[in-house]
C-alpha cells in the first residue's frame, strides 16, 4: 500500500516524504520530479508551453502509472488531488496524508523558495497571500478527504513522521 503525501505547494511534501520513506525503509517518489524526467521539461516549462489543463492530464497519467508491486512514499503536486478523480484513485490505492498548513506558513516558504512556482509566478505581498488563501479554500474539499492529517509546523511533541508511521502500521 502506497503512502500519498498531499498538500499545498511549499509545505514540504518532498522533504517530509524522504524522511518518512527512510523511517519505513520504502522507496520515495516525487510526482513532479517524475513528470520532469519523463517529459524532459520542467514543471514551469510544461505550464508555459501546454497550460495547466494539459499539465493536469500528464500528472494524472503519471500517477496511474506508478509502480504498484511494492509500497512507496509518494509526494504529489499540490493540485494533483483536485483533478481527474486523482484523490479517489489515491484513496483506493493507499494511505492519503494531508500535510496541512496555514496560509502564513505557506507564504513564508514561497517567499523564501529557491525556485518560483508556476501558479504563483509574479505574485507578491498581499496578492500572493490572497492567492494562497483562495486556492487552499478551493482545494480543501479534496485535501480533507485524506485519512491522516498532519498539522504544520509541528505543534506538539510527536513527530509528524511518527504519526504517519503509526497510521500506516494500523
The number of domains in the chain is 1
The range of the structural domain enclosing residue 66 comes to 2-154
Q: Average the pLDDT over 53-74 and give the result.
A: 95
168 in a structural domain: no
Banded pLDDT at 158 (limits 50, 70, 90): low
Report the pLDDT value the prediction gives residue 128, as an integer from 0 to 100: 95
| Residue-wise pLDDT tens digits, 103-144 | 999 999 999 887 778 888 889 999 999 999 999 999 999 999
Residue 48, CA distances (Å) to 43, 45, 74 in order: 9, 5, 25
SS3 of 122-134: the string is CCCHHHHHHHHHH
Q: Average the pLDDT over 33-51 and give the result.
A: 95
Report the pLDDT value the prediction gives residue 169, as an integer from 0 to 100: 87
CATH number at residue 81: 3.40.50.300
Amino acid at each position: 500500500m502506497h503512502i500519498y503525501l498531499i498538500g499545498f505547494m511549499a509545505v514540504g511534501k518532498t522533504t517530509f516524504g524522504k524522511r518518512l520513506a527512510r523511517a519505513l525503509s520504502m522507496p520515495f517518489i516525487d510526482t513532479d520530479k517524475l513528470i520532469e524526467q519523463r517529459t524532459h521539461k520542467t514543471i514551469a516549462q510544461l505550464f508555459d508551453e501546454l497550460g495547466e489543463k494539459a499539465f493536469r492530464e500528464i500528472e494524472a497519467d503519471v500517477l496511474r502509472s506508478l509502480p504498484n508491486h511494492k509500497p512507496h512514499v509518494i509526494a504529489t503536486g499540490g493540485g494533483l488531488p483536485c483533478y481527474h478523480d486523482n484523490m479517489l484513485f489515491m484513496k483506493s490505492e493507499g494511505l492519503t496524508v494531508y500535510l496541512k498548513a496555514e496560509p502564513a506558513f505557506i507564504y513564508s516558504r514561497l517567499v523564501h523558495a529557491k525556485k518560483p512556482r508556476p501558479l504563483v509566478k509574479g505574485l507578491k505581498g498581499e496578492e500572493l497571500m490572497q492567492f494562497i488563501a483562495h486556492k487552499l479554500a478551493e482545494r480543501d474539499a479534496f485535501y480533507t478527504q485524506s485519512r491522516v492529517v498532519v498539522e504544520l509546523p509541528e505543534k506538539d511533541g510527536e513527530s509528524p513522521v511518527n504519526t504517519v508511521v503509526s497510521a500506516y502500521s494500523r
